[in-house]
Amino acid sequence: MATSGTTTFNLDLTEIMEEAYDLCGLSMMSGGEYNSAKRALNLIFLEWQNKGLNLWKIEQATTSLTAGTNTYAAESSALEIVDAFIRTDAADTEKQFDQRLRRISRTEYNHQAKKLTQSKPTQYFVDKGTSSMNIVVWSTPDSQQTYTLVYDYIKRIEDAGANADINPDVPARYLPCLTYALAYNIACKNNEALNKVPMIKARYDELWNEVSDADRERAPVKFVPNMSVYR
């Protein structure tokens, strides 16, 4: 059996928009409709970022800690911090050691009585602003060792952009879901397609459940019972 031998199928923004309009039984006729569809894609990307963990957007960053300083700016594109740890003796193949930091809430940090205590950090909290994010570690780093803060973060999905021939910043397996998400948005705003809204929405929800389930960690979970309660 002859097959294509390729696995590179993708859609650019214009093709996604055309497919979405086809699902609505409509034609994209004007520049205004294109701009509206592009805005809708950007809103969809923001919606998806609020829905949960996007594994394909997780990246790792490092920053050197300074003795006496407990607040450090996260990457500007970071939406959320997933995990963090302190590394000592970085790049030393024999001595490098990573220790995971426990994430605490702002309230827990505020209740720390001695915030200026200097030692190896063991905890952190994430201070989120409207346009920036800081990682606050506790204890405040001392000068006894060289510490590196290593953290995994969810990076923001890139905007649809100005050019129509670019690909969206999502894995190919998300393209059907993205197309139906855009179609749902278009149908809700167009009287001629309102009758298609329930069908498109149902299919969108179905596709979202499929891809979001696939975009999860597959590592096994081990539960260890607390045997002390039986003693």
pTM: 0.83
* pLDDT tens digit at each of 231 positions of the chain: 889 999 999 999 999 999 999 999 998 878 889 999 999 999 999 999 988 768 889 999 999 999 999 999 999 999 999 999 999 999 888 999 999 999 999 999 999 999 889 999 999 999 998 888 999 999 999 999 999 999 999 999 999 988 888 999 999 999 999 999 999 999 999 999 999 999 999 999 999 999 988 777 666 655 455 545 444
- Domain boundaries along the sequence of the chain: 10-54+159-186, 55-155
One-character DSSP codes across 90-109: TT-TTT-EEEEPEE--HHHH
Q: How many CB atoms lie within 10 A of CB 84?
A: 22
Q: Give me the phi and psi of 149, to 5 degrees please.
A: -85, 120
Query: For residue 157, which of 77, 38, 73, 59 has the smallest C-alpha distance?
Result: 77
Pairing relation of β-strands 58-64 and 123-128? unpaired
